[in-house]
Amino acid sequence: MSAETSPGETMPPDPPYGFYIVLAGLSALVVIVIIAILRYGTANDVTSVTTSAGAVIGTVVGAFFGLSVGQAGRKRAEQGKDQAQQQAIQSTKALVRVAAQAPPDSEVAKAAVAAVS
């Protein structure tokens, strides 16, 4: 396993940054709408400003979630790789024990040595 976790232990959950990012994006959009309403007289201008800002904010929030999903997948893949390596090490140790306990010229010893090699 990695230095952060031991075999059989799961990784701690990440903080809920996604919630804070969405909340910040919506808050910024509300502020932009209020400022646009106070500054511009026509609904067409307010809609233009709000739509432009919403597109940018939506893109940034979407990029955050895309990166988060990618990182979570990478962590799961690394955890699975570490578990597979531990299982391979345990299997190799078991085969070495079998080879050591079996008579040197027996088929069991030869098969164990061939599997470890």
Summarize pLDDT for 43-83 with one digit per residue, the tens.
999 999 999 999 999 999 999 888 888 888 899 999 999 99
Region label for 14, one of left (φ > 0), alpha (ψ between -120 and 50) or beta (otherwise): beta
Phi, psi (rounded to 5 degrees) for 5: -130, 155
What are the structure tokens assigned to 103, written together?
Answer: 């008579």
Say what the pTM is: 0.57
* Whole-angstrom distance, CA of residue 57 vs CA of residue 103: 71
Summarize pLDDT for 9-32 with one digit per residue, the tens.
566 667 778 888 889 999 999 999
* pLDDT on residue 2: 43
Residues 71/74/79/82 CA torsion (nearest 10 deg): -140
Residue 91's Cα: distance from chain center in Å?
Answer: 28
* pLDDT on residue 92: 85
The CA distances from residue 10 to 6, 41, 53, 71, 79, in Å, are 8, 56, 40, 16, 9
The residue assigned the tokens 């609904």 is 43
Query: How many other CB atoms are found less than 10 A from the CB of residue 25?
Result: 19
